[in-house]
Amino acid sequence: MNATMSLEQLRHYPVMLNQIISIISPQHGGTFIDCTFGGGGYSKAILSFPKTKVIALDRDESVKQYADLLGKTFPNRFNFFREKFSNLEKILKPDTNPKAIIFDLGLSSFQIDNAKRGFSFKKKGPLNMKMGINKFSAYEAINKLENNQLIHILKILGEERDAKKIVKKIDIYRKKNFINFTDELSDIIRSVKKNYKKFKIDPATKTFQAIRIFVNQELSELIFGLIAATKLLKKGDILIVVSFHSLEDKIVKDFFNIHSNSKNPSRYLPIQNKKNKLFDIYSKKPMIPDKDELTKNIRSRSAKLRYAIRTSENFFYPEEFKKKYSHYLNLNEINL
Ligand SMILES: C[S@@+](CC[C@H](N)C(=O)[O-])C[C@H]1O[C@@H](n2cnc3c(N)ncnc32)[C@H](O)[C@@H]1O
């Protein structure tokens, strides 16, 4: 983006924006938390309603330029923090009282389209994949992880059936040369999946997904983000998550179900709290983009929106939920 760009010129398609606006009703005013600022699509739309305030977060340094634009336009109603949303509780003051906390997970089109960020197997770029505030890059993951660790990651974060074969090839290659670029990695994967032209999706998709999730600790971010948001919301407040793949959506669905189901109480809650639900869910099925949005923005095709309304219950016992997903949380212990 160049320095003279105006807010109107910021071309970006926020996913399922109409649905988000109708769920949170910003026309009544209030404070809203945009946990994944990106190109600022949600924040900007909320701020267009006069009595609103937005607190936005993003781990990516490059979005600060868009946040600065919004900050200049709405100096008293907008605040931006370059932070991971797992740290939400550290950022928000106890008296913030947000009406809704929104997560729009994954990557922005600015991140995907920038070959230098190394997220896309369709563009040659350095094996980077860091969203921001990371411990290591994809280059370090691919070149330094033990074979068994790499296989485990491709299996659980990419659901890649050929994980063993792919890692065997990676290991042969990396013993001779470090793997530096996205196209080197995707060529290695294609050499394993020889008849790849028959595949509906590119054979590199699952491996790239797994490495990206690992580098950015995306699933533990989601788990800790949901827990933090639940603590910050009060009766009638709304938690919304837009997710883009099944691993994320399963966590969100599970989180809402476990903490909202009083008819079929969670086995994760102590007996005396089984009936005290934290959320009311209004739709069991996720919302998806309409035809019009799919035509305008093909990248919205895998989006799933789930939301729930906080009850007045304050007893929250997230330890068992964390235990259920410890196979993801344990990946944070791997140091490179
Ligand atoms: C899909 S984009 C959001 C687009 C945004 N809703 C809009 O309308 O422009 C996701 C953004 O979330 C950020 N992000 C992803 N995980 C994050 C995390 N754990 N903490 C903070 N930001 C995160 C990414 O850097 C990216 O900019």
**DSSP three-state, residue 220:** helix
Test site for ligand 1: of 108, 109, 299, most ligand atoms within 8 A of the Cβ: 108
> Which residues are 79's β-sheet partners?
55
Residues whose CB is less than 8 angstroms from the CB of residue 135 and which lie 6 or more positions away in sequence, other chains included: 335, 336
Q: Whose Cα sits closest to atom 22 in ligand 1?
A: 58
Q: Are strands 30-34 and 52-58 parallel, antiparallel or unpaired?
A: parallel
Q: Does ligand 1 lie within 6 Å of residue 63's CB atom?
A: yes
Helix ranges (DSSP H) in the chain = 17-24, 41-47, 64-73, 88-91, 109-113, 138-144, 147-158, 163-176, 182-192, 205-216, 218-232, 246-258, 291-296, 319-324, 326-329
For the chain, residues classed under CATH 1.10.150.170 are 115-216
Ligand 1 centre distance from Cα of residue 277 (Å)? 29
User: Cα 107 from chain centroid?
Assistant: 7
Q: What spacing in Å lies between the alpha carbon of 140 and ligand 1's midpoint? A: 23
Atom of ligand 1 nearest to the CA of 37: 5
pTM of the model: 0.94
| Rounded Cα distance, 58 and 131, in Å | 9
How much is the pLDDT for 271? Answer: 54
Cα(58) to ligand 1 centroid in Å equals: 6
Ligand 1 centroid–CA 228 distance in Å is: 17
Q: Is 302 helix (H, G, I), strand (E, B) or coil?
A: helix
Give, for ligand 1, the residue of 13, 59, 82, 248 to mutate: max count of ligand atoms closer than 8 Å to Cβ: 59
Task: Supply φ then ψ for residue 273, to 5 degrees.
Answer: -110, 10
User: Could you tell me where in the chain the CATH 3.40.50.150 domains are found?
Assistant: 7-104+218-333
Whether ligand 1 lies within 6 angstroms of the CB of 222 is answered as no
CATH architecture of 7-104+218-333: 3-Layer(aba) Sandwich (3.40)
Beta-carbon neighbour count of residue 28 at 10 Å? 10
Q: In whole angstroms, what is the distance from residue 70 CA to residue 44 CA?
A: 7
Separation of 281 CA from ligand 1 center, angstroms?
24
Which three-class secondary structure state does DSSP give residue 238?
Answer: strand
Does the beta carbon of 237 sit less than 6 angstroms from any atom of ligand 1?
no
- The candidate with the shortest Cα–Cα distance to 279, out of 312, 243, 232, is 312
Closest by CA position to 229, among listed 263, 252, 212: 252
DSSP alpha helix (H) spans, 114-162 = 138-144, 147-158
Per-residue pLDDT tens, the chain, 336 aa: give them: 444 455 554 456 899 999 999 999 999 999 999 999 999 999 999 999 999 999 999 999 999 999 999 999 999 999 999 999 999 999 998 899 999 999 999 999 899 999 999 999 999 999 999 999 999 999 999 999 999 999 999 999 999 999 999 999 999 999 999 999 999 999 999 999 877 677 778 999 999 999 999 999 999 999 999 999 999 999 999 999 999 999 999 999 999 998 986 555 555 555 555 567 899 987 789 999 999 999 988 889 999 999 999 999 988 889 989 999 999 999 999 988
Cα of 85 vs centre of ligand 1, distance in Å, is: 9
- Greatest CA separation for the chain: 62
Q: According to CATH, what is the number of the domain 115-216?
A: 1.10.150.170
Rounded CA-CA distance 218/85 in Å is: 10
242 CA closest ligand 1 atom index: 1
For position 273, what pLDDT does the model report? Answer: 56
Residue nearest to atom 18 of ligand 1 (CA): 84
Ligand 1, atom 15, lies closest to the CA of: 106
C-beta 248 within 6 A of ligand 1: no
pLDDT at res. 44 = 96
Contact 305, 16 (CB under 8 A): yes
220 Cα–ligand 1 center, Å: 15
Spacing of C-alpha 227 from chain mean position: 14
Q: How far is the CA of 269 from the centre of ligand 1 (A)?
A: 31
Residue type at position 213:
I
